[in-house]
Amino acid sequence: MRLLFAAIVFAYYLSASMSVQTAQNHGLDLVLPTDNDALFSGDGPAFYQYIERDYQGVKSTPWEGGQYGFVRDPKDTAAGVVYTRFHEGIDIRCLHRDANGEPLDEVRAVADGKVAHVNVVPGYSNYRKYVVIEHPWDGSNYYSLYGHLSSIAVKPGEPVRRAQRIGVMGYTGTGINRERAHLHLELCLMFSRQFEAWYDTFFRNDPNRHGIYNGMNLAGLDVARLYLTLRSNPALTIPEFLNHEETFYKVALPKARHFDLSQLYPWMLPAAKRNGGSWEVSFAASAQPELSFVRKTPTEYSYLTRDIVAGHQGNAHLTNYGAQLMRLLIWPD
Ligand SMILES: [Zn+2]
């Protein structure tokens, strides 16, 4: 299970009244990670790798399932079909194959950065063989993640340049066959540097082999939309980009000494904090994280929030799982 991007959005909402102070901006200057650039011509079927769907006995191979967002696991509800599984990155279709059909696409760093993590043992992660690269942009670190690789050409700690080759596309992963070879790309924010202690408390039976670069600690943003937005606005910053995300729900966190996000991404903080004032207004007095807002919808909330919020209108609430994840943000308080 992956954390919900909305968790970031809620934190951002808490500071919605602030005016975003943008630091010196040098532009993100992202490059696509493979030769496949059909995203820019709007050719979805050519850019995204299809998924194999079996819905109510009907088999299909929709390319839309390779997009970012709620694009998987349709469920029939009173409000129509709802896609309940969130895809935190994009699946970029394979372009080059050898005579046996093996994928050959070079995978490249989307921007300058430093290799933060390399996983070479497929069984250790749903991403199978994957690389995480850290990018320092405007004083905050962001992380690009490249999953399902067949081989990896970089080592942790190594600096990488934009468009530098870091590996080769593969199909390492459950449910991925050679035909569906693709690159799973994410661009993420990190939730907490205290992740390992939090993880070890709740998931004792499943050792964490990835330190703070475990996918659960990385919240993917809509990277395809970012690429497209940067085309028309090359000076765009991540805070500006996220400012336009829609808030679906908000959570009030207990007042905490440890709110790592505020150090990792200071632009999420209320202006009051930066001015030396108090930011307690952002936090609930209660000892537990509480749901303070959820957008009205006729659909069961667990379908729309990846089981972080449950219930219907009027009785929406954080699940135990949701509360646990929220505690990560203020761990170890
Ligand atoms: Zn994927």
Q: What is the pLDDT of residues 131-148, one digit of tens each?
A: 999 999 999 999 999 999
Q: How far is the CA of 300 from the centre of ligand 1 (A)?
A: 25
Which ranges of the chain would DSSP assign to H, the alpha helix? 5-14, 44-47, 195-202, 223-232, 238-242, 260-264, 271-274, 301-304, 320-330
Q: How far is the CA of 324 from the centre of ligand 1 (A)?
A: 25
Q: How far is the CA of 177 from the centre of ligand 1 (A)?
A: 13
What tens digit of pLDDT does each residue of 243-288 get?
A: 776 667 777 777 777 888 878 888 876 543 443 322 222 345 456 6
Q: How far is the CA of 103 from the centre of ligand 1 (A)?
A: 16
How many Cβ atoms sit within 10 Å of the Cβ of residue 111?
19
Q: How far is the CA of 62 from the centre of ligand 1 (A)?
A: 14
Q: pTM score > 0.95 for this model? A: no
Q: For position 256, what pLDDT does the model report?
A: 74
Q: How far is the CA of 269 from the centre of ligand 1 (A)?
A: 31
What tens digit of pLDDT does each residue of 320-331 get?
A: 888 888 888 888
Q: How far is the CA of 91 from the centre of ligand 1 (A)?
A: 5
Pick among 2.60.40.10, 1.10.3720.10, 3.40.50.300, 2.70.70.10: CATH of 21-242: 2.70.70.10
Give CA–CA dist 8/242, Å, rounded.
9
How many Cβ atoms sit within 10 Å of the Cβ of residue 236?
16
Give CA–CA dist 142/242, Å, rounded.
13
Considering only residues 8 and 279, tell me which one the structure prediction assigns the higher pLDDT. Answer: 8
Domain ranges of the chain: 1-19+251-333, 21-242
Give CA–CA dist 164/153, Å, rounded.
10
Give CA–CA dist 172/99, Å, rounded.
19
Give CA–CA dist 98/30, Å, rounded.
28
Q: For position 7, what pLDDT does the model report?
A: 40
Considering only residues 98 and 73, tell me which one the structure prediction assigns the higher pLDDT. Answer: 98
What tens digit of pLDDT does each residue of 195-248 get?
A: 999 999 999 899 999 999 999 999 999 999 999 999 999 999 998 888 776 667
Q: How far is the CA of 92 from the centre of ligand 1 (A)?
A: 8
Instruction: Give the closest residue to 130 by CA, choosing from 223, 33, 251.
Output: 33
- Contact present, 183 and 146 (Cβ < 8 Å): yes
Q: How far is the CA of 185 from the centre of ligand 1 (A)?
A: 7
Q: How far is the CA of 111 from the centre of ligand 1 (A)?
A: 20
Q: How far is the CA of 87 from the centre of ligand 1 (A)?
A: 6
- Judged on CB neighbours under 10 Å (0-12, 13-18, 19+), 126 is middle
> What burial letters (b/e) apply to 64-98, b meaning 16+ CB within 10 Å?
ebbbbbbbbebeeeeeeebbbebbbbbbbbbbeee
Q: How far is the CA of 67 from the centre of ligand 1 (A)?
A: 8
Q: How far is the CA of 237 from the centre of ligand 1 (A)?
A: 25
Of 111-120, 164-173, 263-272, the poorest mean pLDDT is in 263-272
Q: How far is the CA of 76 from the centre of ligand 1 (A)?
A: 23
Q: How far is the CA of 48 from the centre of ligand 1 (A)?
A: 10
Q: How far is the CA of 184 from the centre of ligand 1 (A)?
A: 4
Q: How far is the CA of 25 from the centre of ligand 1 (A)?
A: 30
Q: For position 283, what pLDDT does the model report?
A: 45
Given pLDDT bands bounded at 50, 70 and 90, which one contains residue 294?
A: confident
Q: For position 286, what pLDDT does the model report?
A: 56
Q: For position 287, what pLDDT does the model report?
A: 61
Given pLDDT bands bounded at 50, 70 and 90, which one contains residue 46?
A: very high
Given pLDDT bands bounded at 50, 70 and 90, which one contains residue 165?
A: very high
The DSSP result for 180-215, as a single string, is G-EEEEEEEEE--TTHHHHHHHH-TTS---SGGGSG
**pLDDT of 315 strictly over 50:** yes
Give CA–CA dist 127/167, Å, rounded.
14
Given pLDDT bands bounded at 50, 70 and 90, which one contains residue 128?
A: very high
Q: How far is the CA of 49 from the centre of ligand 1 (A)?
A: 9
Q: How far is the CA of 34 from the centre of ligand 1 (A)?
A: 15
- Determine the average pLDDT of the residues in 147-167: 98
Q: How far is the CA of 146 from the centre of ligand 1 (A)?
A: 10
